[in-house]
Amino acid sequence: MAEIRTGTGDGDGESRAVRSDICARLDEIRDFVPAERRPELEEILVALRGSGDPAGPQAALHRLLRRCGVAAGLRAFTRGAGIGGLPAAVEAHPVVEAYVCPGDRCDRRAPARNQPVPETCRLYGEPMRRRRLS
């Protein structure tokens, strides 16, 4: 596999959004990757979990998905492809609580209402943390 460059930062807002989409749909992504390519997927995920810029690993994941027959690559799993989520908190709206990324590494949010047990971050394997959004 080609080297995955990770850079030195956590990436911009778009990278955070893509990282959250990967987390939310990682089980689906894994379903598209055949067993013989799973080691490559895991190597990409390790790089994505790192502290560097996620753009390199995201590009590598996009290429891997394309090689696995997903014509749109990573774009098939991003918000434009139907990922929903909670809107950003807006002043004067009711209080909204959600489970958020445990390390504040992405902008994934899962509704906390009527869910006493937090979801697990699929990318890092940690429980998501409850946070008041408004």
Per-residue pLDDT reduced to its tens digit, 23-63: 888 999 999 899 999 999 999 999 998 877 888 999 999 99
Identity of residue 101: C
Tell me the three state secondary structure of residue 131: strand
d(CA 99, CA 131): 6
Task: Please give the DSSP secondary-structure letter assigned to residue 88.
Answer: P
DSSP 95: P
Tally of CA atoms within 13 A in the half-sphere of 119 that contains its CB: 18
pTM: 0.64
- The predicted pLDDT at position 80 comes to 55
Q: How far apart are the first and last CA of the chain?
A: 44
